[in-house]
Structure 1
């Protein structure tokens, strides 16, 4: 299902969480990653990447630019407006989830999560975005 060459952008202000996400993605067969510690740095990484990012996995609560602000910036960018986007969050408030959905998030994973639950959500997001583009 996954192309091992899909470039994945992992965004979280906690290095340990980025490593956990990357390890989980590697177990799915994904091999190429960019990392960023906040939404502002992530947007710079997207815009400066020579290769197009094929999947974005971002935390919600980060300094400088939140995951929601980053999501809105991604959806406003012509190159990345349809990029598969998965939000990692401890936020379970209905209004916050609604904000993310209205802003174009494909799915979200509540923290803490298991590698299996992350895999299920990544597969669902990937099928939704890549499958609909085929």
Structure 2
């Protein structure tokens, strides 16, 4: 990003999933539960990890997460994934969540976190990630 782009932040990574939270995903004020957001992030990161590892994988860690702004019911929620590091059997994937509110014209960032996955075989044992 250049100095000219600093006032217009954009998502990093590949758009992996887009969903719209329903009233059942929110509290009494219409704000989406944090757990629902984490679930969507884990689904997105697992999808990316599955493509990288060409098979089954498991979440082993989620790095610190901080919510920058609330999500409202009916907003379009987008998860962007970026491979940060790959080890012998592990993958670190950054997930950014952006939202586009129904009445807004520009998206805003909600949160991000680093998810760590390991590739596993059909018996649930750790396996190597194939070379990319």
Give the TM bin, normalised by the shorter chain. Answer: under 0.3
In proportion to residue count, which structure has more strand?
2
| TM-score normalised by the chain length of structure 2 | 0.21
Structure with the higher fraction of residues in helix conformation: 1
Larger relative contact order (C-alpha < 8 A, sep ≥ 6)? 2
Normalized against structure 1, the TM-score is what?
0.21
